[in-house]
Structure 1
Amino acid sequence: MTEEFTHALCALIRRLGQQAKQLRDNGLTIEQKGRQDFVSQADVYVENELRAWLKTQRPQDGLLGEERGLEPGSDGIWVIDPIDGTTNFILGMDYWCISVAYVRAHNIELGIIYAPDRNEFFFAQTGKGAYLNEQKLTIREPSPEAVVLGLGRSSRTPPRDYTQTIETLFEHGIEHRRFGAGALMLAHVAAGQVHGYFEAHLHSWDALAGLALIKEAGGMHNDFLASDGLTQGNNAWAASPAVWKRLQPVLLPNG
């Protein structure tokens, strides 16, 4: 993957993020996929544009997106969430993003997350570090009494599991935040804005780019791609190394 290619991809993602904002400002067409699960014309537009460009540039690769599913390829696979945090996006909140990852041979080789309303552009590539707006990210450990985790709640797991997780964190003196966009919260782990992120079930298009950022910034995460996590999703647990080791037995006692 050449530097010229990655620069062009980043430029495209920036452009699509701005176009998504313009579509929102002009008034969105919105469909409901399920309870508290929406898709807008911006979701569809961004994914279609990314797929079309990647097909011309990397025809050997597969594509997996939230809105259009899987198109197999003969090499790696691009994993796309055109807008993570669609509800926030629709409501005019700034906590949403475009998430793009590249996976090959069970390795997440590239992760890009762009939050247009926050002017935050995250980029990570295997062995080359993680960056926010071209500033290198290095995860630093919080003091044990000051840990704040990001949490996600999945409709694919029982509500009691989520409330039990909150109770468990309180018992261990851990604060939490939930902002409704797992990909962006994972990016914010890499940036040190929270010290870890846990969700009982996350789709790969929400998880992989953020996990790449965290690893390249010096953090740790579970093996999300195990048990066909690429197509079926998996639990997601990522944090600074000390926080990960401290809470892994609590959050993923069997993993």
Structure 2
Amino acid sequence: MTQASLHPMLNVAIKAARAAGSIINRASLDLDILKINSKSPNDFVTEVDQAAEQLIIETLLQAYPEHGILAEESGREHGNKNSEFQWIIDPLDGTTNFIHGFPVYAVSIALAHRNVVQQAVVYDPTRNDLFYATKGRGAYLNDRRLRVSRRTRMSDALIGTGFPFRRGDNFKRYLKMFEAVMQECAGLRRPGAAALDLCYVAAGYYDAFFETGLNPWDVAAGSLIIAEAGGLVGNFTGEADFLHQREIVAGNPRIYGQLVQILAPYTRVITQEALDEDASKSAGKASGADASGEVAKKVAAAPAERKRGPVRIKKTDKSSDDAPI
């Protein structure tokens, strides 16, 4: 897709992402003077995150002042909160990598219309790699059309993931998932920037990806890019409600289906039937770990192939719980 043929809204998002990337690249040259604050233990925000986010918001609202904004560092403080159009922004996904000089981080910008993602940009400033997609028009890396991988066996698959990192995260649950997946696949990788991880699925570098606790700004752009590259995105039970449930699986259709079968027992997706049964047993206080075992019995793992639905964004208040960096 040539620059001239890009959707006007996508062009504005690309302009904003590249401008933010310039801020990030300049700051990366002198990390010693960087001001770093902690939002919570192991969860950092820098003045670069904030400056990049402000520049992105100004660029988007200058072009579309009537649109709404959902951004990682400032929530819904900008734009029209009642607009049918909402920009979903992560100005620097991979902040911990950035402050250590580990060159895996990205800018992520998506536009949703009536809660369905229509435009997506993920920009890797260290490599000058631009991943982008418009709904119905395919996904691209720079000028190259993207397609998910064609591998069909888990034993051949390279899988991406993200580790829990905050106090209070369910590390034991994750280690069980890690062990279950690790024994079935060719290898697991954890670079530490979910937006890029999702793009790597779209590009075929990974065959699939899974993580828990991700917020809309981490996955909105990447999920559309995967869908437009022919991949599937869902929660651990194969449903499309991954943003609401704070768990995500993505991959080429064949590996996606197999990975869902492995991860379904670890889901925190609670069906109404399971809630009713657990309430009668424990006065509605079943833990996520206990409930997942009951729910798994009621969940049918996703088939290897299924029809792609629209990537939807549920309006969600900014939350620090389990948010990646």
Superposition TM-score, scaled by structure 1 size: 0.91
Q: Is the 8 A contact 2:19 2:55 kept in 1?
A: no
Q: Is the 8 A contact 1:222 1:236 kept in 2?
A: yes
Match of 1:23 in 2: 27
Q: In structure 2, which of residues 20, 36, 56 is the aligned counterpart of residue 50 of structure 1? A: 56
- Matched residue pairs, number? 251
Q: In the superposition, relative to structure 1, how do residues 120 and 98 fare at CA in structure 2: closer, same or farther (>3 Å)?
A: same
Q: In structure 1, which of residues 146, 149, 152 is the aligned counterpart of residue 156 of structure 2? A: 146
In the TM superposition, what whole-angstrom CA distance separates every residue of 1:102-150 from its partner, at most 9, and x where no partner exists? 1122311111000111221100110110000121101122251210110
Amino acid at match of 1:150: G
Q: In structure 1, which of residues 66, 82, 106 is the aligned counterpart of residue 72 of structure 2? A: 66
CA-based RMSD: 2.0
Q: Is the 8 A contact 2:7 2:134 kept in 1?
A: no
In the TM superposition, what whole-angstrom CA distance separates every residue of 1:32-86 from its partner, at most 9, and x where no partner exists? 1112111111100011111122222222221111100124232121110000000
Distance (Å, rounded) in 1 between the aligned partners of 2:67 and 2:86: 5
Distance (Å, rounded) in 1 between the aligned partners of 2:182 and 2:208: 15
- Tell me the CA shift for residue 195 of structure 1: 0.9
In terms of mean alpha carbon deviation, does 11-20 or 89-98 score higher?
Answer: 11-20
Q: Is the 8 A contact 1:199 1:236 kept in 2?
A: yes
Does residue 257 of structure 2 align to residue 242 of structure 1? no
Match of 1:81 in 2: 90
Whichever of the two has the greater Rg, that structure is: 2
Distance (Å, rounded) in 1 between the aligned partners of 2:66 and 2:177: 42
Amino acid at match of 1:25: L
Distance (Å, rounded) in 2 between the aligned partners of 1:140 and 1:249: 19
Does residue 233 of structure 2 align to residue 221 of structure 1? yes
Q: Is the 8 A contact 2:162 2:190 kept in 1?
A: yes
Q: In the superposition, relative to structure 1, how do residues 20 and 173 fare at CA in structure 2: closer, same or farther (>3 Å)?
A: closer
In terms of mean alpha carbon deviation, does 189-198 or 169-178 score higher?
Answer: 169-178
Q: Is the 8 A contact 1:127 1:216 kept in 2?
A: yes
**Structure having the larger proportion of residues in strand:** 1
Distance (Å, rounded) in 2 between the aligned partners of 1:197 and 1:227: 13
Match of 1:183 in 2: 195
Match of 1:168 in 2: 180
Distance (Å, rounded) in 2 between the aligned partners of 1:3 and 1:218: 20
Superposition TM-score, scaled by structure 2 size: 0.72
- Tell me the CA shift for residue 252 of structure 1: 3.0
Match of 1:105 in 2: 114
